[in-house]
Chains A and B, each alone.
Chain A
Amino acid sequence: MTAGTSVADALADAHRREWAFVLAATVRVAGDLDVAEECAQEAYVDALQAWSRSGIPDRPGAWLTTAARRRAIDRVRREVTLRRKLPLLIEPVEVDALGGPLATADCPDADGVRAVPDDRLRLIFTCCHPALNRAARIALTLRLVCGVPTPDVARAFLATEATMAARITRAKKKIAQARIPYRAPSAAELPERLASVLSTVHLLFSTGHTAPTGEQLVRENLCDRALDLARTLVTLLPGESETKGLLGLLLLTDARRSTRLDDAGRLVLLEDQDRSVWDQLRIMEGLRYTVEALTRPRPGRFALQAAIAGAHVVAPTFEATDWPRVVHLYDLLLEQEPSPVVALNRAAAVAFRSGPAAGLAELDLLAADPRLAGYPYLPAARADLLRRLGRPDEAARAYADAIELTTNAAELEFLRRRLAESAPGATG
């Protein structure tokens, strides 16, 4: 800590970097998520006073963990007779039996002996348990792993505070009543459980990344939280290539963050973005993780998506993109993840490789898929190809269809602009 660092800054920093450590270690003492959360919060409050009085400790995380655990022990002693009948299921021994993929590395970002690294994994895997619904997983991860206050979680997902609080309470209740154990999964369970964690982090990032109607800062904060989580997962599970794939994908996507909207807040397409201002440090780091993720025999879905993002960021211009490679990567991705959304993206890449007519033919094949009904990017992609083919009337109809289905303000503005260009006089 430098002499100039104020206590408030140090606390904010410790909250951002250490919250998951502090809470995860405290849960094991408290045996209850709510109690642990309260104790961790109280430790941060205690820190404000103690650090102002006696200075910022060398290892703020260790200080906070000790304080929170001490409070938890006091509570458990005091409330031993009052304790709920359904404490969190804690099995302190099972890590020993894990071996293999979960034999974790020491945390390079840990500035000392604090919580065992596994504690954070327990917390993350519990919050992202597949027995919880997707919305609950994201809310719990933000609230418990990232320490984001409930009102902020609510704002990020355009929900009311009461709705979000109820969602979090319901999820915690299910963890206790259905007996979701507070532990990292065994090697046999790991693939399914890790997929659930990674898709939660990815969804968190996507929510932040999709251009917002307002609350720009809240949304950008989500991207940063997702990046932090992805980094943590790479640190804690260094043997899992998909964690690297996810981090690579997020870094490569995030490198273009500043060019996605223009100064007026309007959406800028990849082909029109100013490549000279993309974050080169993020790109280099993202490419490094992507290459590592691709080295295994059958790359996973995040590694492949990262490779696609990589193909875009290394191209000096949009026209110079290696489209045959992008299409090939989408083919591989379709094998891993046979979703119509992936097929739609592949069709767009085909259009740039073999011309808009070829892309349109692919899109027409997809249009019959009921899973894409109501998906705004299908008519939007159609509209774009029709525009390129010089069929403005059909393009205008497709833009109008896309506008019907779009709720995002920046995307709506973009589509209306395109509609006006293709059919002067028409309105969205």
Chain B
Amino acid sequence: MTQYMILIYENEAAYESASPELWTSMLDAHNAFAKAVGDLGGTILGGNALQPTPTATSVRSGDVTDGPFVETKEALGGYYLIEARDLDHALQIAKLCPAPNGGVELRPIMDTSGDAGA
């Protein structure tokens, strides 16, 4: 099994004036996702939603600035850390991850326990 990070990138504008119903439906979608991952034989090791980029603070060589590290139309808004058999399995899972206003990026976690990563 390999660990992957699913990075959820979405257009934040879509959530700026979200109704309580929208939040409930998003929550439902993520709960359904969690169940689907188990059904596919994968494991969710962790995950969170992030507060939107206006709350972000960046630090570059000690300089503190307001805002995200990189300004993009679709911003990092949440993540999951999952465990999957291989990239195909992880992609199968990632395709189910809710991101209606954007998409997700899948990154393998580097194994730093030994001499790997070279």
Contact = CB atoms under 8 A, between A and B. Distances in A.
Contacts of A89: 86
A129 B87 CA distance: 10
Interface centre among A85, A129, A180, A185 (most CB of B within 10 A): A85
A86 interface: yes
Interface stretch (B8-16, B22-30, B71-79, B110-118): B110-118
Interface in A172-201: 177-181, 185, 189
A131 B114 contact: no
B116 A180 contact: no
A180 B91 CA distance: 10
A210 to B, nearest CB: 33
Interface in B93-108: 106, 108
A84 interface: yes
Contacts of B21: none
B114 A179 contact: no
Given A84-B116, A85-B114, A85-B115, A178 B108 contact: yes
B88 A181 contact: yes
Contacts, number: 31
Interface in A341-368: none
Interface string A142-182: 00000000000000000000000000000000000111110
B116 A86 contact: yes
Contact of A177 (B85, B108, B115): B108
Interface centre among A178, A181, A189 (most CB of B within 10 A): A178
Given A85-B111, A85-B114, A86-B116, A181 B91 contact: no
A189 B92 CA distance: 9
A178 B85 CA distance: 11
A178 B108 CA distance: 5
Contact of B108 (A179, A181, A185, A189): A179
Interface residues of A, number: 13
Contact of B86 (A84, A85, A181, A189): A181
B116 A189 contact: no
Interface string B32-72: 00000000000000000000000000000000000000000
Contacts of B118: 84
A179 B85 CA distance: 8
A181 B91 CA distance: 12
A170 to B, nearest CB: 14
B115 A179 contact: no
A189 B114 CA distance: 34
B2 interface: yes
Contacts of B110: 177
A179 B106 CA distance: 12
Nearest to A186: B88
A179 B91 contact: no
Nearest to B2: A179
Contact of B88 (A84, A86, A189): A189
A216 B90 CA distance: 43
Contacts of A180: 86-88
A89 B87 CA distance: 10
B70 to A, nearest CB: 21
Given A179-B86, A181-B86, A185-B88, 7 more contacts: A86-B111, A129-B87, A131-B87, A178-B108, A179-B90, A180-B86, A181-B85
18 contacts: A84-B116, A84-B118, A85-B111, A89-B86, A129-B87, A131-B87, A131-B91, A178-B106, A178-B108, A179-B2, A179-B86, A179-B87, A179-B90, A179-B108, A180-B88, A181-B86, A181-B87, A189-B88
